[in-house]
Amino acid sequence: MSPKIQKYSQMIIYKWEKFFHSLLSIGQKFTEKGKIQIEVEKLKWELKKKYQELGKYVTHKKETKSVIDFSHDQQYLHKINEVIKLKYYIEERIKLKETF
């Protein structure tokens, strides 16, 4: 094989390898984004359940004891803190997904 043909074939091989690696990298990014999106959707479902539990708790307290002030109710505060933490975590996961 002539040196020119060998040089061009090596250059073509190098460019194909580079292209292939970039394609793999893009695939990995999409995969990671997909994983995060699935996690976010599961977390949103969990958040919805926590809101429902909180609503049931508040309704039960209102019906049984006519409670309207929950500022000193430790169980209520715990439930609210769980909701806030989960909302914050979801926001962080969404931000992470956007960085890919």
Mean pLDDT value across residues 89-94: 97
The one-character DSSP state at 100 is -
Q: What does the block give as tokens for 76?
A: 């209520």
- Domain tally, the chain: 1
> Which band of pLDDT confidence, cut at 50, 70 and 90, is reported for residue 39?
very high
The one-character DSSP state at 72 is T
Residue 100 has pLDDT above 80, yes or no: no
3-state SS, residue 85: helix
pTM of this prediction? 0.75
Lowest mean pLDDT among 13-22, 47-56, 63-72: 13-22
Mean pLDDT value across residues 11-31: 88
What is the domain range of residue 68?
3-98
CA distance 73 to 35: 38
CA distance 17 to 9: 12
